A and B are shown apart, each in its own frame.
Chain A
């Protein structure tokens, strides 16, 4: 074909246009890959950076006398990188680990199952077994080379010097799905405080993780640090805590409570520091360390006496006669009575037709003796007269005023202790009774609340706090179990004085009654020769089961060092079990040891077995 027949210029131009068009398409694709779409940067990082966590050591716990309570010990987790696993002798492997081949296969299947293990990647280490025992670790370490793909990862777990205070210390366990969702700090298989101080001070104790950025090649092999580790961070260890608990006192309290259901709470009134918070039954905190966690936890959870519950905080009981102290204070402050007001009692509350009943004592009697002898009728009179008092306008206002006064003393609300699981108890108000009795109620409907029975419930902690407010003559500090945080300040709420709004002089009147109860009343067994103890017993009547035995008190009378409550379920009269235990606890704390004269009492209390057979 001769050139003149061929439009060569047109053909050349078409070729050039075609070429340029394709290059333009390529430039657009490059622009969208490199400039527009940011996902590729993220994917590239996920590809190549292996962020290895450097675990901080968890904060250590001491008691108020610097006794070591909780510290860390190394533990060994068995990890696997599925991509690196080669055929191996499963039988030997399982024998070393003390598991069956079936269990092992199930575990490997679970690891691979993305619905159970969402973060699964065959290139990343996965947990096979956590917290290997020292023996297993030792044997495995020697033969690990036979099992390619399996690694040992060092971690720390908790170690306890005492087998006491489990409820206060709490325990740590692997994070659950909620923890992971709520707090970005956590990753799969991290530990988190589940109860007690471990939980409430988790953010102090856990410290800060460090990170080591390693480079990983396409086969998952680690090729060294990224940029010589300049982006790496060191872990910051968790902060150590000093608890306000006296571990010896705590231990003694738990011993006295053994084979009984109940609790002992002791508070330093001048600070609100909890010296002892024993709840029975309890458990050895070291049961929750190591591979046996699951089995032990299940066993304790199914125990009918519910040893996992901290009764001192979560138990909601009627306060019984200890409540009379709070009542007397309210009546005095509301001018319903004066210290010299006398009420009659004929083995019961006369307007109620002798109900609630009372025991034999002189009549009429004043507040001093009413507290001293724990007269029921006196406080029923007081409550009736308060509710009927015209100054409130209606009974409802009177009822609500009563509730407010109770709340100011720390009842019916959570006190705000630095431990999880605190119950609020119940102080009823007019709305409560309107609902309960369909608006048709009068002082007699609820008169038993005057003596700490009826609808009212409290926690042992709240009763001990009442003892502290009385000891302080009108104020308290929010009870707390942590005395100091290393290099950090305690939450200011624990150093803020909370007033009850009741005048000091009224407290003096009540205190005289509590002193009388010790010297010549219901709690004579708590009468110490050289220390002025003030106290009040309680015998809480239950519908079907035996009475609860309660003792509330503080000592010494002037400049009190300690407020105490002892609450033992189904132990009968307050004086029978609670008062002797209270006496021993006070002696232990104030004297440092138990005098010989009280040793028989100690033996008797330790040996007493009072378990609720109704269970």
Chain B
């Protein structure tokens, strides 16, 4: 294999480095502001949280530099070992971690608190990259796909056992990487469909139209529309005509009956979907069309999903998760309860206006109205003190970083580097979207940090490791010719 030694420092992607520095610097300023009192303004004290964070930034930079010095081959060579070690650590954590605010995810060594779940992200990314990097690898080979799925789901399971649902959700973002590597987009679309179905059926679960539950009705109508839309896109006029005619008959009969006797309208839709499925199965058999079979599978899967939502909500989710979800869906409005955090964070951000109240002048964050203001809700400080200008700037910085990482990932020659690069971009993307989304009241309150911003050593260090490994890989992308 031809080999060329390259100076890491000259081939390093400085754009990413600059974005990283700018982000953590702004983040550190925000932590300083959020954790300071009005009394201490003007004095840069490094005690307390901002000092701590500075220490962790320093440690992370040293670790980052070490990563850059280590030979890039190491990561691919040790990928599985690192993954195995982290999985072991996760297992150990389940048994050793004390209960901290209902979560059993922190390992306590003296004064230092470490959250292994944070480090499982880069480990999983490395393992996945290594697995996909095989010669002539085909992701859609069922065995390969299942192994990839296993690599992702193993840490999810272990983290769920630590009662850290938020951190576990992060791993879903690896499906984005798999999509890039050949997984059918249909799986992502179905994932989105199921999420939408879940939200709609939950949101309107207690709304009734006569005897019909509106949530179920809407979802069933959506399933029907998606199925028919897909069939119509095949442009088989005979089939379209038959389906429209059949639906017309069902509509006339059901309306007539409804006028005489009020019944649950979901029956009509279930009947329609059943008739449609039978017709499509017949078509699939007659013309040997896999597409129609797929639609039938979609319909069956969606309906069974819809009717298991209630079960999932009542029996799988914990009460505080149920409430968070209901609040995020606007089903519950309880300003002092679960919604309090989101309300206060929206007030803090909303009161910032265009230019904000000025650095260190945020009243809402200073007076502790926003909970977790230097960790999960750190974005509030930006919103209140620097206004729309500040939030837009930070948001665009993240967008720039993510797009830059995707650009870097795409220019890699090896699958290992590319998969890892996409993993880094996706993980950062997920954290930014869920964290800021929760702070501005779009996504449910899920306790995950804003990368490079939130106070917290584990999180900062793990994101730095995640990023610097990719920077190291990228720097030596041209070593092998």
Contact = CB atoms under 8 A, between A and B. Distances in A.
Interface stretch (B19-27, B82-90, B135-143): B135-143
Given A11-B185, A26-B440, A218-B367, A34 B350 contact: yes
B449 interface: no
A19 B442 contact: no
Contacts of B402: 19
Interface string A1-36: 110001010011011100110110111011101110
Residue with the greatest number of chain A CB neighbours at <10 A, chosen from B176, B344, B363: B363
B346 A40 contact: yes
Given A47-B367, A48-B367, A25 B392 contact: no
Interface in B67-101: none
Given A22-B433, A33-B350, A40-B351, A27 B395 contact: yes
A435 interface: no
A19 B137 CA distance: 27
A217 interface: yes
A43 B349 CA distance: 11
A540 to B, nearest CB: 68
A44 interface: yes
A73 to B, nearest CB: 37
Contacts of A47: 344, 347, 363-364, 367, 369
Contacts of A35: 353-354, 388
Contacts of B440: 26, 29-30, 33
Of the listed residues A11, A33, A39, A215, the one surrounded by the most CB atoms of chain B closer than 10 A to its CB is: A33
Given A1-B137, A34-B354, A224-B38, A44 B347 contact: yes
Contacts of B387: 34
B33 interface: no
Nearest to A225: B38
Contacts of A8: 180
B395 A215 contact: no
A14 B436 CA distance: 22
A182 interface: no
Given A33-B440, A34-B387, A40 B347 contact: yes
Interface of A: 1-2, 6, 8, 11-12, 14-16, 19-20, 22-23, 25-27, 29-31, 33-35, 37, 39-41, 43-45, 47-49, 215-219, 223-224
B185 A14 contact: yes
Interface in B368-413: 368-369, 371, 383-384, 387-388, 391-392, 395-396, 398-399, 402-403, 406, 410
A576 to B, nearest CB: 74
Interface string B183-197: 001000000000000
A26 B369 contact: no
B350 A218 contact: no
A224 B349 contact: no
The prevalent SS among residues of A at the interface is helix
Chain B contact-residue range equals 35 or more
A449 to B, nearest CB: 70
Nearest to B361: A227
A12 B418 CA distance: 12
B64 interface: no
Contacts of A19: 399, 402-403, 429
Given A1-B138, A35-B388, A16 B38 contact: no
B179 interface: yes
Given A34-B349, A37-B350, 10 more contacts: A12-B180, A12-B406, A16-B403, A19-B429, A26-B395, A27-B392, A47-B363, A218-B367, A223-B37, A224-B38
B350 A29 contact: no
A346 B368 CA distance: 96
Given A1-B140, A15-B180, A34-B391, A215 B363 contact: yes
A23 B442 contact: no
Interface string B417-440: 000000000000100010011001
22 contacts: A12-B406, A19-B399, A26-B395, A26-B437, A30-B383, A30-B392, A33-B346, A33-B349, A34-B352, A34-B353, A34-B354, A34-B383, A40-B350, A40-B351, A41-B353, A43-B350, A44-B363, A47-B347, A47-B363, A47-B364, A223-B367, A224-B38
B223 interface: no
Contacts of A22: 433
Nearest to A226: B363
Given A12-B180, A215-B38, A224-B38, A26 B349 contact: no
Nearest to B140: A1
Contacts of A2: 136
Nearest to A46: B347
Contact of B176 (A15, A25, A34, A40): A15
B367 A215 contact: yes
Nearest to B442: A29
A30 B349 contact: yes
B433 A48 contact: no
A430 B298 CA distance: 95
Contacts of A219: 368
Contacts of A14: 185
A48 B39 CA distance: 16
Nearest to A44: B351
A224 to B, nearest CB: 7
A52 B354 CA distance: 29
Nearest to B403: A16
A353 B3 CA distance: 146
State the 9 A-B residue pairs at the shortest beta-carbon distance, nearest first.
A40-B350, A44-B351, A34-B388, A217-B367, A48-B363, A33-B350, A218-B368, A1-B138, A1-B182
A16 B422 CA distance: 11
A217 B368 contact: yes
Contacts of B456: none
Contacts of A43: 347, 350-351
Contacts of B353: 34-35, 41
B403 A40 contact: no
A48 B369 contact: yes
B441 A29 contact: yes
Contacts of B403: 16, 19
Contacts of A26: 395, 433, 436-437, 440, 442
B338 interface: no
Nearest to A2: B136
B276 interface: no
B436 to A, nearest CB: 6
A216 B347 contact: no
B361 to A, nearest CB: 9
Contact of B350 (A11, A25, A41, A216): A41
Given A12-B410, A19-B399, A48 B364 contact: yes
Nearest to B137: A1
A221 to B, nearest CB: 9
B348 A44 contact: yes
A454 B433 CA distance: 89
B137 A223 contact: no
B348 to A, nearest CB: 7
Of listed B137, B351, B383, B406, residue having the most chain A CB within 10 A:
B351
Nearest to A217: B367
A6 B137 CA distance: 12
Interface string B433-466: 1001100111000000000000000000000000
A216 B369 CA distance: 9
Contacts of B185: 11, 14
A50 to B, nearest CB: 10
Residue with the greatest number of chain B CB neighbours at <10 A, chosen from A22, A39, A40, A224: A40
A509 B186 CA distance: 116
Nearest to A30: B391
Contacts of B367: 47-48, 215-218, 223
A607 B107 CA distance: 96
A302 to B, nearest CB: 46
Interface in B238-285: none
A16 to B, nearest CB: 6
B368 A224 contact: no
A44 B346 contact: no
B343 to A, nearest CB: 8
